[in-house]
């Protein structure tokens, strides 16, 4: 590979780089280890709650702003994060895991580098080399449905730690070391070990400005047997605190038996290099991970975490009450049990869906000028925006885990699509309501329809001379009335009103009444 060739970044999340500042860890077994003493202090539960929460600024006076501005404000809910018990549990797991993994990797111990060199040599020769240092690293697995906040929570917790700590001197002793506290990568889409190793070298290069990809990975030309020892060497050199592998369900895409090699590779990383490994994935990864005893044992060092959707309990109530504060409709309503239940019913407690359905309900209330969030609007937007997820939501509702494993993923909603459509519809409605020409034309069209109806229905009835004339005249009058009602309901003004009453846009109402056809209807 040419040294000038551009290599795109594969880092999934990038933290800060800081010079080492040492503090007493307050635990005797953690003392006199610069890798641990350079970490932030151990957070209490209250401190973790404060650090992990994110409540965007809210000004109720902004509810009086024009509609097109409030559609932007609704997006504030995307930044909303309420710390839940699972977040606090996960923060404590990472805190213990990182520090525990560093206990057997103290760079001040004379045998530290020599013992690790033996282990790396053992990886190269495929032989087990006895050493006096025992790995204290443990890891765990996070499995759950997409959209519940696994990746968001992991990244938020990792951000509590600097990613790189630069050591230069410890207790009047020179210590030249660039410590990588955490590294987060995505599992390659094909589940290959080589792909993961190459991603590792590229990520470290991107983080530290080194050339490991070119020098130790041969620009991608080295074999897996060559890459693994080199990866171990780099990981040991920079004392990586934890390696997080996301999207672990991609192991299912590995070639026959490939996932077993990948899992064995993770076991080697933990046992030989002493780096804790956290695997994050969807339910699709459960058959793979639960089928390998050695990996399950090692990954359960801190206890496996199955991150399910929220139950409709006090945790859900806490979450929705915090979310409900961010109302930008002009008629804000208090959170009632029926509204909370409807939101849970249509999203099944999936965080991503709940936040975005609530946002979309406000958008529809603003665009249709109802200006209040109702149960019918919540159901309506959920029906429109969660169509692809309905099979998964049904499986969740029935508790069918086997059915969930058949689905690739629950894809998060792209809220921008709905906001752009809402802005477009808002402009159209605004033009109709503000344009005298359009309003006059609509009223004129309605009058012409009424005149045509009267002239068409009455004349044939008046000219009727047979003995049943009276009944036929009455029949024609009834027919005229039905047609009159039909045309009144079908006028553009009434269709627009119908849309407002039903909580849908004017465009959708016109489409339902047959005034708007598909662009491809007349294509051959």
Q: How many domains does the chain have?
A: 3
Same domain, 379 and 495: no
Residue 400 lies in a domain: yes
- pLDDT for res 427: 52
Radius of gyration of the chain from Cα atoms? 32
Number of helices followed by number of strands (H, E) in the chain: 23, 8
Same domain, 301 and 211: yes
Same domain, 358 and 250: no
Residue 5 lies in a domain: no
Residue 114 lies in a domain: yes
Same domain, 289 and 359: no
- pLDDT for res 274: 78
Q: Which two three-digit tokens encode residue 217? A: 């990975």
Which residue range forms the structural domain that includes residue 479?
436-512
E strand or H helix that includes residue 268:
helix 258-268
| Residue 349, burial from CB neighbour count under 10 angstroms (0-12, 13-18, 19+) | buried
433 or 385: which carries more pLDDT confidence? 385
- pLDDT for res 423: 55
pLDDT winner (highest mean) among 124-133, 201-210, 396-405: 201-210
Same domain, 282 and 324: no
Same domain, 178 and 240: yes
Task: State pLDDT tens for residues 128-148.
Answer: 444 444 556 678 888 888 788
Residue 76 lies in a domain: no
Phi-psi region of 7 (alpha: psi -120 to 50; beta: other; left: phi over 0): beta
CATH number, position 262: 3.40.50.300
Cβ-proximal residues to 55 (8 Å cutoff; 6+ apart), any chain:
80, 81, 82, 322
* 390: helix, strand or coil: helix
Final residue in a domain of this structure, among 282, 307, 332: 307
- pLDDT for res 365: 94
Whole-angstrom distance, CA of residue 100 vs CA of residue 112: 16
Q: What percent of the chain has pLDDT over 90?
A: 35
Mean pLDDT, the chain, rounded, equals 76
């Amino acid at each position: 590979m040419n040294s000038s060739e551009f290599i795109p970044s594969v880092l999934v999340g990038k933290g800060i780089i800081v010079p080492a500042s040492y503090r007493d860890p307050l635990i005797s077994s953690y003392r006199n280890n610069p890798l641990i003493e350079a970490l932030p202090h151990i957070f209490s539960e209250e401190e973790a709650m404060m650090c992990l929460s994110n409540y965007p600024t809210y000004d109720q006076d902004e509810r009086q702003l024009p509609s097109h501005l409030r559609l932007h404000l609704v997006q504030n809910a995307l930044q909303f994060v309420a710390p839940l018990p699972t977040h606090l549990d996960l923060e404590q797991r990472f805190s213990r895991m990182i520090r525990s993994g560093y206990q057997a990797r103290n760079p001040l111990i004379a045998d530290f580098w020599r013992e690790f060199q033996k282990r790396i040599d053992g990886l190269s020769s495929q032989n087990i080399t006895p050493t006096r240092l025992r790995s204290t690293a443990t890891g765990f697995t996070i499995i759950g449905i997409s959209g519940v906040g696994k990746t968001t929570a992991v990244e938020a917790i990792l951000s509590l730690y600097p990613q790189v700590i630069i050591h230069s001197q410890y207790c009047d002793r020179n210590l030249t070391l660039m410590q990588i506290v955490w590294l987060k990568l995505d599992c390659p889409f094909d589940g290959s070990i080589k792909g993961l190793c190459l991603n590792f070298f590229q990520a470290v290069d991107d983080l530290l400005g080194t050339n490991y990809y070119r020098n130790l990975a041969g620009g991608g030309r080295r074999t897996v047997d060559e890459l693994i020892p080199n990866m171990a060497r780099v990981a040991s050199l920079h004392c990586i605190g934890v390696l997080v592998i996301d999207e672990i369900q991609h192991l299912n895409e590995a070639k026959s038996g490939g996932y077993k090699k990948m899992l064995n590779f993770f076991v080697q990383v933990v046992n030989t290099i002493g780096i804790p490994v956290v695997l994050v994935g969807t339910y699709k990864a459960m058959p793979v991970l639960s089928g390998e005893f050695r990996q399950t044992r090692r990954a359960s060092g801190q206890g496996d975490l199955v991150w399910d959707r929220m139950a409709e309990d006090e945790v859900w109530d806490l979450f929705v009450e915090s979310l409900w504060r961010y109302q930008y409709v002009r008629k804000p309503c208090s959170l009632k049990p029926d509204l909370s239940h409807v939101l849970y019913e249509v999203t099944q407690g999936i965080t991503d869906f709940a936040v975005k359905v609530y946002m979309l309900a406000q958008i529809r209330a603003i665009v249709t000028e109802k200006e209040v969030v109702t149960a019918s609007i919540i159901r309506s937007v959920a029906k429109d925006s969660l169509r692809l997820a309905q099979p998964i939501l049904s499986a969740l509702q029935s508790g069918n885990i086997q059915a969930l494993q058949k689905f690739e993923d629950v894809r998060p909603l792209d809220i921008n699509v709905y906001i752009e459509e809402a802005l477009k519809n808002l402009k159209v409605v605004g033009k109709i309501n503000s344009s005298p020409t359009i309003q006059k034309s609509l009223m004129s069209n309605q009058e012409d329809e009424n005149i045509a109806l009267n002239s068409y229905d009455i004349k044939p009835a008046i000219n009727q001379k047979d003995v049943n004339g009276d009944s036929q005249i009455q029949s024609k009058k009834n027919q005229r009335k039905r047609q009159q009602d039909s045309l009144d309901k079908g006028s553009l003004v009434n269709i627009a009103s119908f849309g407002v009453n039903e909580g849908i846009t004017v465009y959708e109402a016109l489409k339902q009444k047959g005034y708007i056809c598909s662009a491809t209807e007349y294509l051959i």
